[in-house]
Amino acid sequence: MAWHAQLALVLALVCLPLATAWCSGKSDACSSNPNPLWQFNALNFHAETCNLKWNSGCTILDKYGALQQKPPPYSLCTSGHQPAGLVPVDAYTLALQNNNFAPGSAKWTLHGLWPGSAEGTGAENQPYGCLHGEEFDETILTTFGGLLNYFWPTNAKFNDTMLCFILSEWMKHGTCAVIPGADGTAFRLPEEDYFRTAFVFANEFNQNPALRDQLLGNVQLDDVEPLISTRCVQCAYLATVGWTGTDVASVPRMSGDCIDQCFECGDYWDTCPPAQLDSTVMLNSSNAPRKKSDSSSNSDGIASFPLLEFAMPALTPWEQGTWRSFGAEQGGSGKFEFAQTFTDNVLTVTTDSPYPQMCTYERRGPKELVLRCGGDHHLEDCLVQRLPDIDGLEAAFLACNHTGEPAPASFYAAMDTKGCGNFLMFRCKASAAGCSFSPDAISASKPKTETKTEPESKPSLVSHSQPGIAGAPPALLGSWRSLQVSSDYEKGLAQWNFTADDQASLRWPNYPSRAVQRYSVSHSDEDPSLVLLASASGTITTCRFQFQYQPVYSYAVLDCGAAVDNEENTSTQNRTKWAMGRCNPCSAHCRYSCGPENDFCGAGSCDPAESVEAASVDALLYHHDWCTPEDSGCWPTKTAIRKLEQALDPTVPRLGVRWRSYPNPQPAPVPMGSIDNQSFYGLGNAPQGLRALYYYEDMAEMQRPCFNPADRPAVWNTASDMCKAAVRQNEYRNWNPFIVVFPLNERHVIAALNFAARHRLCIATAGTGHEYNSRNSCPTGGILIRTILLKDKTFMPTWREDSTLAPAGAFRFGAGSTFAEMHAFSKDYSRVIASGWCSTVGMVGFHLGGGHGPFAPSMGLGVDNVLEIEVLQVGRNITNGQSVVHKKIASRSRNPQLFWAMRGGGGSVWGVVLSMTIRAHAVPDGGLSHVYMSQTGTFCPDSSKFGYQWLRGMWTRFTAWQLSLNQKVSTQPGFFIDTSQYKKTRNLCSVTWEFKFEYMYAGGQAERDYIRFRDGLKDVLQTETVQEDNYQSAYDYVLSMPANKFTLDPVNPLPAPHPPSDAATGSQNSVFVSRQALETNKFASTMMDVLDICVKTLKNPDMTSPDASGYRCGFHYLYTSLTGNLGSTQPGGTAISPGFRSALMLWNARTLTTQQSRDTVYKLGPNSYFSESSYVMHNWTARYWGEKAYEQLLDVKKAHDPGNHFWCHHCVGDNPDDAFGEPLGAAA
Ligand SMILES: Cc1cc2nc3c(=O)[nH]c(=O)nc-3n(C[C@H](O)[C@H](O)[C@H](O)COP(=O)(O)OP(=O)(O)OC[C@H]3O[C@@H](n4cnc5c(N)ncnc54)[C@H](O)[C@@H]3O)c2cc1C
């Protein structure tokens, strides 16, 4: 039934008599409930009495001692009375309406949000187990009046019956709304939570065109009732946590990552259970499931409702029963399988292995289990986690720390935790037909005679032709620990191995006498999950392969069913189903899945180096074996260089950096003073453009700085071609490359990498050269691979790996793309990219480092928007130890740890990036509004307007304004101090400041928030002058800027006599300022402390300062262009620091000493921005990433760059104890 038909019926039934009589909400006894409602929805009411349905009794005392209807218990059993391993709701139904009847209200109105089922049609079929009702609390109407009016506007057509309507909505649907909790528990949503969840969802639906597209598909928005996944409702619920506001502006946004997950299962709700919310989510424990013993009422008929501790499931914990498992830890032998039986507080391990034992156990939290095992009752802390079901099997993960140390904190960390026994566990769902996986018959003492006597068959490779596509589908490639499920489960642990040469083998690690079975493999071209195994005798077995990807570990089911014997006889006798698991191939530690015999991983190629033992890789940490010019045994000769040049197709014109003026996008940044605003000082303007290769013929030249700070920019225009080709921002320490190459394609990059590996050259990579801290330079010369000419671009309306991750499509850009080029291209498709502020910054460095910018609060940081990275690496051939260049694709499903590391791990240490695929965003409704205002003043110490004292108040007002910003606003304020007159006057009133304030608003200028923020900032700066613009594309914004707005300064900022030191730290001291530091006004006072340092050095110059006058004044950028704004989404799964993710502001301060930074800015937050920070930094690993994350990054680095070819200053793999960037520190 369409929503308006339902509505009409409800209204007819409920409201026609007299609305208020029915809608007054509170009734003292069941009999006062409105009669017509039960007629409409008999589920909630007893037909005879019209009472709301209760398990027992129907009243409870309210706080005034009066009787009220009691809140109901909620059944957590499935309709089949199975323990609710998962909540018995697999979808919600939602009715949507285009609001064209109430101006000023939300454009789209949502009606109801109620649990249904995948096959159900919403209200008619709702809900499983929802047998109870609850009264409508009228205070909701007053508390949320504004929101209700906005999202549920009254409709004159229906006699403005909102009040009745809401009541009936709650009665019908809200009373039944449940949210899955941890471990299969569920929580009925209390009324306020239900409405808040519905508001968040309504708001998201209005604000987020991508979500609308997803929910509606091709359906026109009139009269629709889409099904939405429980995960989506969870996302809306999660956004409500901590939200206490009651107006539209305060409604939080749903997390983008969470929304992404809403759709990851397409329409297959039943195979994609809702995520289990963990204990960090404050679910209302009064709505937790009750213990069976609690169900009785006391003598007054008043039931007691004990407050259960959240996520401590009292009712049949999910783990109860028997599971079969195999070891999943890194160091494990991979030989054993186990059966774990959990009964009330006792765990019995019967096993094929030498470890049978009995332990008592105790749940300590949603994911924690404590075992007391063996005679000595030693304690083991375990992590338990339920994983999504697969093909009739339930799955779980258990990691127990045998060492007495705490359990690993996460599924991810478990693999890295030494002394931890990890298990992937499976068991048959009760409902799964044909699944026989009972281990009851298995025990350690059970004789294994029968299984060892199988006839041995000589393994022989098969090569006959097969139907379909040759080889296994990519996700099946590799080796899997496997257990039979359907029959013969006593056979023990097996190992399936699917290789890239279209072969598969099945072995039994514990039974060497059993023959290895070999097959050749193909799969159906129409349905890749259909895998065909051809045995040596010609028997073809058809198997269905199902795959469940989880971070770190994956598992699968291979269901080998009907056998077709020589294409004649069909038999179902040999049906065999396998539960299979492994850690994800190509993860840094996943060595048991990825060895030399198994040189592939998923669809990418597996770096053989990953199978090198960790101990031997450790030695690589600081060991650089780079060739130096002094070593003629490896340093490239002219002949070798010419050969490389030939491999780079030198006659093909390289014109890609020549700029023809606006409206063509700038292909590269303009170095300071460049004539005609050309990049590379016009080097690319030659008729043939750039050359393929430049190098220093005279090695003495290589040691000299290219761009001397003492010279004027005019002189820099005449620098050598080599200098121009290598031009980069801030060339600290004058580390010039020996060779610069400009590849045009992948083949060229491979040639350069092979050359570098052959000559053991340190490899640096650069695109635009914008990097502030010389991370595009090697201390020993080496080779600079300049990817600026890789400028391919493609728009993909649908992102093939997972369209739900990029509802507005995706762009793939070559590594040389600048944001100007990306914006120009995305404009053609009416899309936006979450770029940085500077239009000539390059895609690669920005995304590797984190990436904040004008659209980050609404669209995410750079790292949040990367979908795939194509990278060339230098690995080692396991057989001969030689270097090999190979390509890897990093994405959520391919090389996921590399993907994690490359999104925030920074620098060029992962290889040479060829391209990145970036999420596209729709242009926000109302376009992109831009606001600029400024204020100037002095350092006059008196209380004059815009003087030094005025500043103190200004920072406090600024702070309040910052704290109010929502996700639509992204700011780039710069505070500049001019001391040029002070030397002459010695008067602080001659020191001037200018606060230049620009921000971007994702929406139109008529929006209430736009006006609120603009006027608020006018008050902060006490100005009336505002420049306002509105753009329909980000490229229009780029075109509004002068071509040389962001020049690249090619000099060394810290030449002698102030080389990098604690007194001259270089670049900028950055800190991610936490919201708390702003709330407590710590930011404002710290800012004044920093300005006091400036004033102090004006009076008493500090001659250790790199400033010629000895001042420490500089300037400050105060970006609020992160994801800390109200309503911004903060997805996880990237390597950036926690401080980066949650900070409200990034403060980049200039010219402070290390100590001054420690005393001031660094106190505002533990983390700094990798891409905008000081050259000199102590504890840089902790400030950039945190120690634990750094260790993981280092592991990924070791696995993917085993020869340590790629290095950069204060990048993963650099010397963590070197604060200063000493060349020796780098090469030691
Ligand atoms: C004027 C200016 C404005 C800026 N504005 C912002 C901003 O708004 N937001 C923000 O977050 N950051 C900003 N930054 C910082 C910027 O994100 C970093 O400097 C970033 O590293 C620049 O990337 P790039 O590719 O342009 O520079 P490059 O110097 O070319 O490269 C930077 C890093 O990426 C590596 N790299 C480049 N290309 C490749 C490749 N193909 N393969 C492997 N590694 C590669 C380099 O080795 C180096 O480590 C700004 C910087 C400047 C100079």
Contact 1161, 835 (CB under 8 A): no
Residue 1085 pLDDT > 50:
yes
Q: What is the mean pLDDT of residues 203-223?
A: 77
pLDDT band at 368 (very low <50, low <70, confident <90, very high): confident
Question: Phi/psi of residue 188, each to 5°?
Answer: -75, 140
CA pair distance 1192, 1202, nearest whole angstrom: 15
Question: 162: closest CA among 105, 247, 226, 83?
Answer: 105
Query: 């003073």: which residue's tokens?
Result: 673
Q: Which atom of ligand 1 is least distant from the CA of 1119?
A: 8
Nearest 5°: the CA angle 556, 480, 398 is: 70
* Segments in 278-436 forming alpha helices (H): 411-414
Count of residues for the chain?
Answer: 1228
Q: What is the pLDDT of residue 222?
A: 58
Report for 18-32, 544-558, 875-889, 1199-1213: range of highest mean pLDDT: 1199-1213
Q: Which atom of ligand 1 is least distant from the CA of 871?
A: 42
* pTM, 2 dp: 0.61
Q: What is the mean pLDDT of residues 347-375?
A: 72
Q: What is the pLDDT of residue 466?
A: 46
Q: What is the pLDDT of residue 266?
A: 58
Question: 202: closest CA among 126, 139, 110, 121?
Answer: 110
Residue nearest atom 26 in ligand 1 by C-alpha distance: 842
Rounded to 5, what percent of the chain is helix, strand, coil? 30, 25, 50
Q: What is the mean pLDDT of residues 159-182?
A: 56
Segment (H or E) for 547: strand 540-549
Q: What is the pLDDT of residue 564?
A: 42
Q: What residue type is assigned to position 873 of the chain?
A: Q
Contact 187, 177 (CB under 8 A): no
Least confident of 200-209, 562-571, 812-821: 562-571
CA pair distance 256, 207, nearest whole angstrom: 12
Ligand 1 centroid, distance to 1095 Cα (angstroms): 33
pLDDT in tens, 89-103: 556 666 777 777 777
Q: Which tokens go with 1090?
A: 């920093």
Q: Which tokens go with 454?
A: 């199988």
Q: What is the pLDDT of residue 953?
A: 94
Ligand 1 centroid, distance to 776 Cα (angstroms): 9
Q: What is the mean pLDDT of residues 1057-1078?
A: 94
- 542 or 299, greater pLDDT: 542
Question: 1105: closest CA among 530, 498, 1096?
Answer: 1096
Helix 3-14 crosses helix 162-172 at what angle (to 10 degrees)?
Answer: 110
Q: What is the pLDDT of residue 413?
A: 62
Contact 352, 444 (CB under 8 A): yes
Ligand 1 centroid, distance to 1191 Cα (angstroms): 24
Residue 285 pLDDT > 60:
no
Task: Spell out the residues 6+ positions from residue 61 whose beta carbon is closer than 8 angstroms to its own.
Answer: 67, 68, 302
Residue 64 pLDDT > 70:
no
Q: How many CB atoms lie within 10 A of CB 549?
A: 15
Q: Please tell me whether the peptide bond between 896 and the residue prior to it is cis, using omega within 30 degrees of 0.
A: no
Q: What residue type is assigned to position 599 of the chain?
A: D
pLDDT band at 28 (very low <50, low <70, confident <90, very high): very low
Ligand 1 centroid, distance to 68 Cα (angstroms): 64
- 1204 or 1139, greater pLDDT: 1139
The residue to mutate among 848, 1051, 1150, 1206, having the most atoms of ligand 1 within 8 angstroms of its beta carbon, is: 848
pLDDT in tens, 435-477: 666 543 333 333 333 333 334 343 333 333 445 678 888 778 7
Residue 112 pLDDT > 70:
no
Q: What is the mean pLDDT of residues 907-914?
A: 94
Residue nearest atom 28 in ligand 1 by C-alpha distance: 769
pLDDT in tens, 1089-1140: 999 999 999 999 999 999 999 999 999 999 999 999 998 988 877 899 999 9
Ligand 1 centroid, distance to 907 Cα (angstroms): 9
Residue 619 pLDDT > 80:
no
Helix 191-207 crosses helix 209-216 at what angle (to 10 degrees)?
Answer: 100
pLDDT in tens, 955-991: 999 999 999 999 999 999 999 999 999 999 999 999 9
Beta-strand (E) ranges in 778-854?
Answer: 783-786, 793-796, 810-814, 831-832
Residue nearest atom 4 in ligand 1 by C-alpha distance: 838
Three-class DSSP category at 538: coil
Q: How many CB atoms lie within 10 A of CB 502?
A: 18
Q: What is the mean pLDDT of residues 751-777?
A: 96
Ligand 1 centroid, distance to 766 Cα (angstroms): 8
Question: 335: closest CA among 507, 475, 499?
Answer: 507
Ligand 1 centroid, distance to 936 Cα (angstroms): 31
Contact 328, 581 (CB under 8 A): yes
CA pair distance 17, 421, nearest whole angstrom: 67
Q: What is the pLDDT of residue 231?
A: 75
Residue nearest atom 33 in ligand 1 by C-alpha distance: 845
Q: What is the mean pLDDT of residues 79-88?
A: 32
For the chain, the average pLDDT equals 77
Q: Which tokens go with 234?
A: 């969870």
Ligand 1 centroid, distance to 713 Cα (angstroms): 23
pLDDT in tens, 793-849: 999 999 887 888 899 999 999 999 999 999 999 999 999 999 999 999 999 999 999
CA pair distance 856, 1121, nearest whole angstrom: 6
Task: Spell out the residues 6+ positions from residue 527 whose beta carbon is closer than 8 angstroms to its own.
Answer: none
Q: How many CB atoms lie within 10 A of CB 543?
A: 24
Q: Which atom of ligand 1 is least distant from the CA of 906?
A: 49
Ligand 1 centroid, distance to 1172 Cα (angstroms): 9
The residue to mutate among 844, 1051, 1122, 1212, having the most atoms of ligand 1 within 8 angstroms of its beta carbon, is: 844
Q: How many CB atoms lie within 10 A of CB 209?
A: 16
Q: In what order do the strands lie in the sheet with 969-978?
A: 1027-1031, 928-938, 992-1002, 969-978, 1115-1119, 1145-1149, 1069-1073
Kindly list the protein residues whose Cβ atom lies closer than 6 A to any atom of ligand 1.
Answer: 728-729, 765-772, 775-776, 787, 815, 836-838, 841-842, 844-846, 848-849, 851-853, 907-908, 912-913, 1046, 1171-1172, 1208
- 329 or 720, greater pLDDT: 720
Residue 1066 pLDDT > 50:
yes
Segment (H or E) for 148: helix 145-151
Q: Which long-range contacts (CB under 8 A, 24 or more apart) does 941-946 make?
A: 941/988, 945/1022, 946/1022
Question: Phi/psi of residue 284, each to 5°?
Answer: -75, 110
Q: List beta partners, residue 784.
A: 740, 764
Q: What is the pLDDT of residue 236?
A: 87
CA pair distance 145, 152, nearest whole angstrom: 10
The residue to mutate among 838, 1049, 1067, 1170, having the most atoms of ligand 1 within 8 angstroms of its beta carbon, is: 838
Residue 438 region by backbone torsions, left for phi larger than 0, else alpha for psi between -120 and 50, else beta = beta
Q: Which tokens go with 1199?
A: 């696995």
Residue 30 pLDDT > 50:
no
Residue 1228 pLDDT > 50:
no
Q: Which tokens go with 921?
A: 């965003």
Residue 3 pLDDT > 60:
no
Q: What is the pLDDT of residue 339?
A: 81
Ligand 1 centroid, distance to 816 Cα (angstroms): 11
Q: What is the pLDDT of residue 885?
A: 87
Q: How many separate helices (H) and strands (E) can be counted in the chain?
A: 34, 43
Q: Which atom of ligand 1 is least distant from the CA of 841?
A: 26
Q: What is the mean pLDDT of residues 1213-1224?
A: 84
Q: What is the pLDDT of residue 1225?
A: 46
CA quadruple 934, 938, 943, 944: dihedral sign: negative
Residue 509 pLDDT > 60:
yes
- 269 or 3, greater pLDDT: 269
Contact 1029, 999 (CB under 8 A): no
- 265 or 1067, greater pLDDT: 1067
Q: What residue type is assigned to position 819 of the chain?
A: F
